[in-house]
Amino acid sequence: MSVWPAWEVQECGNVTSWFAVRLDLPDGGRVDVLAVTAGGCLGIEEVRAQPPLSLDDLTALVDWIEEPLLEACGTGPAPPSESSGALVGRDRPAWPPGPEGMRRVAEEYLAAQGRGADPVLAVMYATGCSRRGSLKLIGGARDAGLLTPRHNRR
């Protein structure tokens, strides 16, 4: 397994780092993962595998790469009690579904705008979702009327 830094973004004292992970399988297959760390959280952005992974293998992928990835990020291995399960949001409470979740997305978005920070990154940090997932949540908050429309209609 190989882990190496892909790129890093520093904004307003916050650092977001992406890491590329390559896992060579004994049968000649390969798994490439793009992982991101931000605000003390670690998440998986993208997974590409040849041949495709089964659902069980995809679930086990986190366990396969967790320790080497945490060491590459400089945070060391996870404590034994946390060595399995999803990496994203492990130490944050579950995001509430429905209207309460949309209201909190809107609050995070507007607070970040008020600070002059990237509102999408703020929602990513708060929810533990990927950029694409956060954009869907923001779109839902817009549709619910909690945020202004993205484009003004003429």
Given this model, what pLDDT does residue 10 score? 78
The pTM score is 0.46
Residues whose CB falls within 8 Å of the CB of residue 87, separated by 6 or more in sequence, listed in order: 41, 42, 43, 44, 62, 66
Q: Can you list the residues of the chain whose pLDDT is less than 70?
A: 39-40, 73-94, 151-154
Residues 6+ apart with CB under 8 A from 28: none
Q: What is the pLDDT of residue 44?
A: 83
Q: Phi-psi category of 151—alpha, beta or left, where left has phi over 0 and alpha has psi -120 to 50?
A: beta
- Report the amino acid identity of residue 56: D
